[in-house]
Amino acid sequence: MRTIGRGATQQSSAPYNRRVVLDFIRQQGAASRKDITDMVSLSPQTVANITNDLESIGLIVSRRQKQDKSRGQPPIAFELNPEGGHAIGVSLEPGRVSAARVNLVGDVLERTEVEVDTSQRQSLLAAMLAQVMQLRKGARERLWGVGVALPGPLGKTDISFVGPTAMEGWADLSLLDELREAARLPLFYSVDSVAGALGETLFGVAKSLDNFFYLHLGLGLGGALVTQRSAYRGANGNATEIGHVPVVPGGLACYCGNSGCLERYVSLHALAEALGLRDVQLRSPALLARLEDPHDEAINAWCRQAGERLRDAICMIENMLDPRAIVIGGGAPKALVERLLAAAQPLRRSVRGGVADPEQRLLLSERQGDSSILGAAVLPIYEMLSPRLETVQQDRRPDADVAELLGHRSGGRWGA
C-alpha cells in the first residue's frame, strides 16, 4: 500500500535519489542507513553520501537508537529535522483569512486569523501580507515560502460565480503576484481541496496510502483525487469539483447556475442556511456547543438529509475511482463531521464494499479544522519532501545549497 521511491542509477539522478531517501525517512519517522539501503535500492556508499549531505544542510538529524543490551552498539537512525525549515500557509475563504507557520514535520507553531471583506482586493492583500509578515517574524529557521489555498474552481469557467462559497474577483489570481512581490518570498498556490489532500499525504492519515479521494468539507464542498502522491488536475486544474455535481433533480438553486448541486446539501454554508445563521456565525461557541448536543433536533434533521446525500456521493466516488480510502477534511468542526458520517451509514454497496476494510473506507482527518491551513503550508515544502510532485507554481528558492542538492531547476520541475 505504501509508496516507496526506488533509487535510480544514472549519474544525473543524484538529486532525485536524495529526495527518495528524504521521503523514505519522512514516511518511516526514523530510519537507519541499513533500512534505507534495503528499501530504496541504492548502494550503501551512495546512501551514506546522501545522508551526510542531507544532514549537513540540516534537513535530517541523526540519533542513536535505543540501546539493546544483548547486542553491541545500536545503529544510528535518521529523522526529519523539524527545524529544517518553516513554511507559511494562508487559507482563504469568503470573509476570512487564516494563516499559520508550520515546521518540516507539520507542527503548527503559530497561527493567525482575521475576518475581512475578501471581495475588496486591497483590504484582502493587506490582510494576507500583515499575517505573513507577523508569522515570518517568529521564523528563526530557514523559511521555505508561502502557500496559499483558496476555493475553486480557478480561472473563468462556466461555473465560476459570485456566491457565498466562492471567492469574488479571483479569476486572474494577480493578487497572489502582488503578495509575492510585497512579501519577497517564494509563493505557491492551489485549490483548497488539493492543498488539503497534499497535507494529508505528507503529514496526515493518507501518509501511507498510494491513492485516495479527499473530500474538503468547508463553507463549500470540494474534492481531490491523489494517486502516487500527485493530485489529478484535469485539463485546467479544476478536476473533481464534486460540490457542483447535481444530485437532486429539480433541487435547490445553486450559485453556479445549476440546481440540485451536492454542495447545496453538504457544506457548512448549507448548514448555516438550514439553521437560519449567517456564515460568520458558524464558528460561534454557541453553535459548536449545539454540534456537541445529540438532542439538538435542527442539527439532527440537517445531518440526516445531508448524510443521505453524502452516502450517495461516497458511492459515486467509490464506483468511479475505486480509491483506497475517502479522507474527509476541511474546516468543518470534528463534531459535525462525525455526526454526518454516522448519518451516512450504512454505506451503499460499491466496488469498495467487500474489498476494503470497512474501517478504512472513510477516514477522518486528524487535522480537522486545521487541514486547509496545513495544506497551504505544505505547498512550499511538498516538492522537496516528496519525489513525485504536484507542480503548483514554481519559484526560485533562496537556498542555493538545498536547491542544488535536491535538484531544483528554475522554472521547471525538481530534477527526476
**Minimal CA–CA distance to 63: which of 29, 36, 40?**
29
Beta carbon of residue 254, minimum distance to Zn ion (angstroms, whole number) = 3
Residue 259 or residue 394: which is nearer to Zn ion going by CB? Answer: 259
Residue 37 or residue 193: which is nearer to Zn ion going by CB? Answer: 193
Residue 244 or residue 309: which is nearer to Zn ion going by CB? Answer: 244
Beta carbon of residue 154, minimum distance to Zn ion (angstroms, whole number) = 16
Beta carbon of residue 27, minimum distance to Zn ion (angstroms, whole number) = 38
Helix H or strand E segment including 22 = helix 14-28
Residue 268 or residue 347: which is nearer to Zn ion going by CB? Answer: 268
What's the full length of the chain, in residues? 416
Site for Zn ion, residues 235 to 274, rule: CB under 5 A: 244, 254, 256, 258, 261
Beta carbon of residue 83, minimum distance to Zn ion (angstroms, whole number) = 44
Beta carbons of 138 and 170 less than 8 angstroms apart? no
Alpha helices (runs of H) in 228-333, residue ranges in sequence order: 268-275, 285-292, 297-321
Site for Zn ion, residues 195 to 234, rule: CB under 5 A: none
Strands 86-93 and 230-231: unpaired
Beta carbon of residue 263, minimum distance to Zn ion (angstroms, whole number) = 6
Identity of the residue numbered 185: L
Beta carbon of residue 244, minimum distance to Zn ion (angstroms, whole number) = 4
Beta carbon of residue 220, minimum distance to Zn ion (angstroms, whole number) = 9
Residue at grid coordinates 526529519? 80
Residue 279 DSSP label: G
**Minimal CA–CA distance to 111: which of 336, 380, 377?**
377
Identity of the residue numbered 249: P
Burial of 126 (C-beta count, 10 Å sphere; 0-12/13-18/19+): middle
Residue 244 or residue 324: which is nearer to Zn ion going by CB? Answer: 244
Q: x/- string (CB under 5 A) for Zn ion, residues 1-40?
A: ----------------------------------------
Cα–Cα distances in Å, from 315 out to 208, 268, 345, 362? Answer: 23, 21, 11, 11
Residue 25 or residue 256: which is nearer to Zn ion going by CB? Answer: 256
Beta carbon of residue 247, minimum distance to Zn ion (angstroms, whole number) = 10
**Minimal CA–CA distance to 327: which of 335, 319, 337?**
337
Residue 48 or residue 274: which is nearer to Zn ion going by CB? Answer: 274
For residues 339-350, one letter each, b for 16 or more C-beta atoms within 10 angstroms of the residue's C-beta and e for the rest, the string is bbbebbeebeeb
Give the three-state DSSP class for 241.
Answer: coil
Site size toward Zn ion, by CB under 5 A = 5
Site for Zn ion, residues 106 to 135, rule: CB under 5 A: none
CA torsion, points 370, 336, 364, 228, in degrees to nearest 10?
-70
Residue 242 or residue 378: which is nearer to Zn ion going by CB? Answer: 242
Identity of the residue numbered 404: E
Q: Can you give the binding site for Zn ion, defined by CB under 5 A?
A: 244, 254, 256, 258, 261
